Structure 1
Amino acid sequence: MRLFLNTLLLLAITNIYSQSSIKGSVMDAHTNEGLAFVNIYITDLEKGTTTNENGMFQIDNIPSGKHTMQVSIIGYETQSINIFIPNSNDFTIRLMPSAIEMEGVIISTPFHKLQSENVMKVEQESVKNLKASGAVNLADGISNIAGVESVTTGLSIGKPVIRGLSSNRVLVYAQGVRLENQQFGAEHGLGISDNGIESIEVIKGPASLLYGSDALGGVLYLNPERFAPTNTSAGDFGGTYFSNTKGYNTNAGFKSSEDHFKFLFRGSLTEHSDYKTNDYRVTNTRFREQDFKAGIGYQDQGFKTEFRYNVNHSKLGIPEDIGEQSILRTPLLPFQEITNHVFSSKSTVYLNNSRLDINLGYIYNDRKEFEEHHHDEEEEEEHEEDEDEDEVLEAALHMKLKTANYDVKYHLPTLGKFETIVGMQGMNQVNTNYGEETLIPDATTNDFGILGVSHVHFDKTDLQLGVRYDNRHINIQSGAIQKSFNSFNGAAGIKTNIAKNIITRINLSTGFRAPNLAELTSDGTHEGTNRYEIGNPDLKNEQNFQSDINFEFKNEHVEFFVNGFYNKVNNYIFLSPDGTVIEGDPVFVYLQDDARLYGGEVGLHIHPHPLDWLHIESSFETVTGKQKNDAYLPLIPANSISNIIRVEFEKTWLKQGYAFLKLKSTFTQNNVGVFETDTAGYSLLSAGLGGTFSLFKNEATITLSGTNLTNVTYINHLSRLKPDGIFNMGRNINIGITYQ
């Protein structure tokens, strides 16, 4: 690996070309009038500017080679333009008016294209829009994305579910590196704040070709906040109040960029008391989260690099039953105290029509769990007073997970119609226990993978092909167990314009997941589930094959899409009782069987002429999961349908104004796993409005939204509080303001 990397760096040093500037104008395609404030952004450089009042722009210090320039503004179709430095220097760009929302460049796929140009169907949504819809936090917000839900424990703990698959079957990326935070655990949330995150992308289906093990079910990719445009500075602060939890989310940030250096930072504080249903407050769903993000970047002479750091500290109550009714914010026992440190560096060396990307990451996850201790009666009498305080200070469960990973990709020079990337990825992970309880043993995990992927361009058709090999080696200290898992995976996709406004995508892909430490080594009572779990060291890789088809029709006023998938998972790992009892708890063992999941999403978006300010949206999503014996898989989301009416408006005193009304109906889920019960259907009504106005010569944005406005008492099928009959959150009104 070191020889390979050094060779590529040597090539970089000897092939760097001089830098150039690009300039141009952007105008309306119908009127030929210059457009002001158009966003010009070179995606691989993460560098951009905006047009002046005459529609003119200029960007300096562009390294030689091929780049992609994105041109976007509300009310016009987004354009993606390939530029070749030093050959391309002057541009005249004409944008077509459109009521369709601006497209964003997809970062989670290898070639960084607009979604309309992408061979894979990837969902993308801005965090700003998710917050405006009433989302309390990141786990709550992602459930607004088609095909995505969350397994939740109260309000503070949530983990993504993509088309019925979750936990170690879904990989989360933040700051360009894989986020590792003991995600195998049912009560282990994301451990990351939505403050300082710009957008979310979701790959729905096997992404092992791009990301290796644990991406069998898909990827949740969190794009961090962008740096400021060159030679500009910006600061903002704001907050949101939540009526249901008497909670708040405050944050402040600043960023500045010069020709070569750029930096940013953002800090936030969030606190919530127990959430309220129509009948009661759910005891110990309270939590507190502190988050700080910072980044610094440098670019010069065919080289750019950036370093980002995020520390997130949270104290999360773990709800057990309905008890104390209060609006206090300090968690009761049991509670988690989690600190996540994420260090990442992202560097690119630009060569002659090619480039080398080097991403490095280090994640330090410190997880503590505090709970009521049980002692002998005699011991309690002797030390009752002394131990009252110690119980709170000493963690029953304390694990540290340290993960270092690397991702090196070389973009070969374009050869005719072929764009090709080769690369290697790896991870070293060490889990260590410090508490009196051991959930999983001390162990070291090492991953290594190599891949190659090509994008082939034709006039109306694009192909994407790729192959990959992976090895995972696990060294478990207790019992001196060593396990190795290997897998070859591939993907093939085609996108074609079968008519002027119709796009069809077909993707075939495989993925794999090596068993996690809990599945291999568990031997003890799993708190909160009342079962004794026994691992299986003979488990094999989960291996899947998924076929996806996507059909899209889009013109100036109507959008329609259909997504369908069929996912076959061999050696699916699941828990099953063996009929015995240990320490009063039933024994569950890990077994494997083949499984299949199928379903999809359908959506319609109408913005009728001449009422371009009016948007009518409707979408339906469904997924079914079964084992080989036709028994249903657990934790499969219920079918649902969403209907939204949204208006957008501009006034002299109010910019980017909007209002919406949303009704989401979730159907009865009676296709349940062996240990689950049926869940009744329900409908939730939401509404909101907002906009931007001038305040003291700067911009202020205000949002007002309400969720579950009719205060329905309901239980989501993916709520871990469901077995106790505890309802999800009732009516909540959010009001937020941000000042630039």
Structure 2
Amino acid sequence: MKKFIIALFIGFSAILQAQEIKQDTVHKNKPFILDEVIISTAFNKIQSQNVMKVEHESIKSLQQKGMTTLIESLATIPGVSQVSTGTSIGKPVIRGLSGNRVLVYSQGVRIENQQFGDEHGLGLNDAGIESVEVIKGPASLLYGSDALGGVLYFNPEKFAAANTFQANFSQKFFSNTLGSNSSLGLKTSTENWKFLARGSYNIHSDYKMADGERVTNTRYNETDFKTGIGYSNSKFSSIFRYNYNNLDLGIPEEGIAEQSTNKKTDYPKQGVFNHLLSLNNVIFFEKSKLDVDLGYISNDRSEFEDSEVAILHMKLKTFNYDAKYHLPKLGKFETIVGIQGMNQTNTNSGEEYLIPDARTNDFGVFGTGVYEWTSNALQAGLRFDNRKIISDARGIAGSAGSFEALDKSYDSFNASLGYKTNLAEDLTLRLNVASGFRAPNLAELTSNGVHEGTNRYEIGNPDLKTEQNVQTDVNLEYKSSHFEFFANGFYNHINHYIYTSPTGEIIDDNAVFDYIQNDAKLFGGEVGLHFHPHPLDWLHYETSFETVTGKKQDGDYLPLIPANNWNNTIRTEFKIKNWLEDGFATLNVSTTFNQNNVSGFETKSNGYTLLNLGFGGKMKLGKTAFDINLNANNLLDKNYISHLSRLKTDGIPNIGRNIVLGLNFNI
């Protein structure tokens, strides 16, 4: 039978979908669960109708895995990894691409926080975030420069239902780092007005390895505050949100030195302050709508060597705008046209300069359309972008720490074409071809000095060209009541791939590296299945395998390519009368293989297998009810070093056994 279902999300327009519901999937007193509406793509359709395959994970499901940080949780999604420095700093890697090649969106705004640097993380806390969507591939059609490798799109916490008040408190404890994560949230709504606020505090000491020693100065603490207010009626919706994030990070330079459980960061250390303001507006017309998103980000990054006087102090201020007009639907054809841009300034006030004072301006215009018939959909789009970078001169030309004035402009045309069809009732095929681009960043264009954390003297190249790629994706997906299967394959060709290469020179005891370019290619994919047999509906088995290979045109391997991984999970769901509902227990075995395909400046990495356990549910003690989550990660206390760990060159292993207890109370 066919039913029409209305999907509603505060701040977005209603979505009316015709969904085929098979008779054998409808059970008395059992709800029918529809796919989540995907916000990060152009037409906000449910996943089963989307032309592009997008990974969607709720933050709650990621938190149930008991990871220490948000980025560590994201790395459990097939095709996603992290470049890490201990437990405090992690940067996302999507199918072998990272840094400025991966865009991060929060509150509908592009995050700009000097993301070219390896010495700091996302600057986002998972408290106050509802879910994450991962686009694995070029998304420059919707997001412009730097979406060449993919997009992480974080959906903020939903407002309370109309005429309700909600409050909750959550607390986590971490045995390895003796850490604590506390969060308090309040939200209330009337028929038209919505309000919420959430504060969080996260603190950890140095992490402990399997041999019992701690890695000196990997401690950190984080303060996060989010608030939002919204108004909506049948004609208009507007939401204002604000996020303040303060990270105090220790920088591990001595490796295994003074053993301490002190949580106060020692020198050298880093302070990263982010202010994110967003205003999301939707105006509804009779047969169309206009989305206007405005954002402002103030990023303040300081580094301290041996005192509270910052030797490096950079302030990055970014204003974003994004306007999309959804034209009236013409039969089975939908169209969106839009403009997007960014104005950015970087200023320095410390003794050292990592990049010069500079201004960056982006402007893009695009159009995309989708045509649907029966179980098929064809989507295509075209976009033009311009990025202009102007920097100031500093110092004496040619001397260490000097910068020459820069005035560069980069243009790019990009297109995408995708097709989705149902080969059978439960079998979906998606084919996508898309191009993307990335203009060189300020570090690549202007560097002239020692890059902190790399012990390399890096020299920029003002003649670098824009990176341009074309990626082909194939997705095959089967989904029935008790069995799901997916297979994703991709081939990504990048022209003018930017990387560093040694010159053979030495300056101040540091090897000199130049920024150069070469064509490159990456290929691989993910395959997996989810089996929950009837009548054992309480039992689930999930397995997935992911692989990526990256090579330069000359045949050498690209750096920072994650090793192949095979992940297996057995999950049981149960209820214990009178005191535990929605109970679950998980056994996870994650096997990472040897990484022998390394660049000329990397060493090979040995494989390892980690065993993780999880237990949780909604517990009732008298009239008190709360959610509980207990995890034991790296249960066997395995001594291992991830290939993407920045501490690998010093032979420092990753975190040992970590017991995590999480509690959540609705007040």
- TM-score when scaled to structure 2? 0.95
Q: Which residue of structure 1 aligns with residue 355 of structure 2? A: 440
Tell me how far apart the structure 1 counterparts of residues 330 and 33 of structure 2 sit (CA, whole Å).
34
Q: Which residue of structure 2 aligns with residue 404 of structure 1? A: 319
Residue type matched to 1:253 in 2?
A: G
Aligned to 1:141, the other structure's residue is in SS state helix
1:331 pairs with 2:261 = no
Tell me how far apart the structure 2 counterparts of residues 566 and 596 of structure 1 sit (CA, whole Å).
7
- The one of 115, 123, 138 equivalent to 1:183 is 115
Shift of 1:582: 1.7
Q: Which residue of structure 1 aligns with residue 308 of structure 2? A: 393
- The one of 105, 113, 125 equivalent to 2:37 is 105
1:120 pairs with 2:52 = yes
Shift of 1:697: 4.4
1:691 pairs with 2:617 = yes
1:425 pairs with 2:351 = no
Tell me how far apart the structure 2 counterparts of residues 100 and 534 of structure 1 sit (CA, whole Å).
58
Q: Where does 1:86-97 land on structure 2 (aligned, <5 Å)?
A: 96-97=26-27
Whether the aligned pair in 2 keeps the contact of 1:99 and 1:607 (CA below 8 Å) is no
1:681 pairs with 2:607 = yes
- The one of 8, 16, 31 equivalent to 1:42 is 8
Residue type matched to 2:214 in 1?
A: R
Aligned to 1:650, the other structure's residue is in SS state strand
Q: Which residue of structure 1 aligns with residue 229 of structure 2? A: 296
Deviates more, 1:578-587 or 1:556-565: 578-587
Whether the aligned pair in 2 keeps the contact of 1:162 and 1:218 (CA below 8 Å) is yes
Q: Which residue of structure 2 aligns with residue 350 of structure 1? A: 284
- The one of 243, 248, 261 equivalent to 1:310 is 243
1:726 pairs with 2:652 = yes
Q: Which residue of structure 1 aligns with residue 368 of structure 2? A: 453
Q: Where does 1:160-559 land on structure 2 (aligned, <5 Å)?
A: 160-279=92-211, 280-320=213-253, 321-372=255-306, 392-478=307-393, 479-559=404-484
Tell me how far apart the structure 2 counterparts of residues 94 and 630 of structure 1 sit (CA, whole Å).
53
- The one of 45, 60, 77 equivalent to 1:145 is 77
Whether the aligned pair in 1 keeps the contact of 2:204 and 2:219 (CA below 8 Å) is yes
Cα displacement string for residues 632-672 of structure 1 (whole angstroms, at most 9, x for unaligned residues):
00000000000100011234432221110000000000000
Shift of 1:231: 1.4
Tell me how far apart the structure 1 counterparts of residues 364 and 569 of structure 2 sit (CA, whole Å).
43
Cα displacement string for residues 667-714 of structure 1 (whole angstroms, at most 9, x for unaligned residues):
000000110000000000001111113456464101101100000000
Residue type matched to 1:715 in 2?
A: I
Whether the aligned pair in 1 keeps the contact of 2:26 and 2:32 (CA below 8 Å) is no
Q: Which residue of structure 1 aligns with residue 540 of structure 2? A: 615
- The one of 554, 557, 562 equivalent to 1:637 is 562
Q: Where does 1:582-661 land on structure 2 (aligned, <5 Å)?
A: 582-653=507-578, 654-661=580-587
Cα displacement string for residues 391-432 of structure 1 (whole angstroms, at most 9, x for unaligned residues):
x22001000000000000000011011111100000000000
Q: Which residue of structure 2 aligns with residue 581 of structure 1? A: 506
Residue type matched to 1:42 in 2?
A: L
Cα displacement string for residues 197-235 of structure 1 (whole angstroms, at most 9, x for unaligned residues):
111110000000010000000001111100111111111
Tell me how far apart the structure 1 counterparts of residues 665 and 6 of structure 2 sit (CA, whole Å).
24
- What is the root-mean-square deviation of aligned Cα atoms in Å? 1.9
Tell me how far apart the structure 2 counterparts of residues 576 and 664 of structure 1 sit (CA, whole Å).
34
Aligned to 1:648, the other structure's residue is in SS state strand
Tell me how far apart the structure 1 counterparts of residues 310 and 556 of structure 2 sit (CA, whole Å).
39
Cα displacement string for residues 536-589 of structure 1 (whole angstroms, at most 9, x for unaligned residues):
000000000000000011111111110000000000000001122222221100
Residue type matched to 2:428 in 1?
A: I
Tell me how far apart the structure 1 counterparts of residues 292 and 577 of structure 2 sit (CA, whole Å).
47
Residue type matched to 1:227 in 2?
A: F
Aligned to 1:129, the other structure's residue is in SS state helix
Cα displacement string for residues 63-114 of structure 1 (whole angstroms, at most 9, x for unaligned residues):
xxx8315xxxxxxxxxx459xxxxxxxxxx9973599976311111011111
Whether the aligned pair in 2 keeps the contact of 1:99 and 1:556 (CA below 8 Å) is no
Cα displacement string for residues 168-214 of structure 1 (whole angstroms, at most 9, x for unaligned residues):
00000000000000000111210111111111110000000010000
Q: Which residue of structure 2 aligns with residue 10 of structure 1? A: none
Tell me how far apart the structure 2 counterparts of residues 244 and 447 of structure 1 sit (CA, whole Å).
44
Residue type matched to 2:26 in 1?
A: M
Shift of 1:150: 0.5
Tell me how far apart the structure 1 counterparts of residues 163 and 341 of structure 2 sit (CA, whole Å).
37
Cα pair distance change 1:441/1:94, threshold 3 Å? farther
Tell me how far apart the structure 1 counterparts of residues 584 and 528 of structure 2 sit (CA, whole Å).
21
Tell me how far apart the structure 1 counterparts of residues 613 and 246 of structure 2 sit (CA, whole Å).
32
Residue type matched to 2:235 in 1?
A: G
Cα displacement string for residues 293-314 of structure 1 (whole angstroms, at most 9, x for unaligned residues):
0000011350110000000011
Shift of 1:115: 1.0
Aligned to 1:450, the other structure's residue is in SS state strand
Q: Which residue of structure 2 aligns with residue 15 of structure 1? A: none
Structure 1: any 5+ residue segments left out of the alignment?
1-28, 33-38, 47-65, 70-79, 83-92, 373-391
Residue type matched to 1:734 in 2?
A: V
Whether the aligned pair in 2 keeps the contact of 1:451 and 1:468 (CA below 8 Å) is yes
Whether the aligned pair in 1 keeps the contact of 2:75 and 2:81 (CA below 8 Å) is yes
Residue type matched to 1:68 in 2?
A: I
Structure 2: any 5+ residue segments left out of the alignment?
394-403
Tell me how far apart the structure 2 counterparts of residues 460 and 101 of structure 1 sit (CA, whole Å).
20
After the TM superposition, list the runs of 4 or more consecutive aligned residues in structure 1 that deviate by more than 4 angstroms. Answer: 97-102, 695-698
Residue type matched to 1:736 in 2?
A: G
Shift of 1:138: 0.6
Cα displacement string for residues 423-479 of structure 1 (whole angstroms, at most 9, x for unaligned residues):
000000000001000000000000000010111111021111100000000011113
Tell me how far apart the structure 2 counterparts of residues 473 and 569 of structure 1 sit (CA, whole Å).
22
Percent identity over the alignment is 57
Q: Which residue of structure 1 aligns with residue 14 of structure 2? A: 67
Tell me how far apart the structure 2 counterparts of residues 159 and 421 of structure 1 sit (CA, whole Å).
32
Whether the aligned pair in 2 keeps the contact of 1:43 and 1:68 (CA below 8 Å) is no
Whether the aligned pair in 1 keeps the contact of 2:6 and 2:14 (CA below 8 Å) is no
Q: Which residue of structure 1 aligns with residue 597 of structure 2? A: 671
Tell me how far apart the structure 2 counterparts of residues 252 and 668 of structure 1 sit (CA, whole Å).
42
Residue type matched to 2:436 in 1?
A: G
Tell me how far apart the structure 1 counterparts of residues 231 and 9 of structure 2 sit (CA, whole Å).
16
Which has the higher Rg, Structure 1 or Structure 2?
Answer: 1
Q: Which residue of structure 1 aligns with residue 399 of structure 2? A: none
**Aligned residue pair count:** 647
Aligned to 2:14, the other structure's residue is in SS state strand
Aligned to 2:97, the other structure's residue is in SS state coil
- TM-score when scaled to structure 1? 0.85
Cα pair distance change 1:267/1:424, threshold 3 Å? same
Whether the aligned pair in 1 keeps the contact of 2:165 and 2:189 (CA below 8 Å) is yes
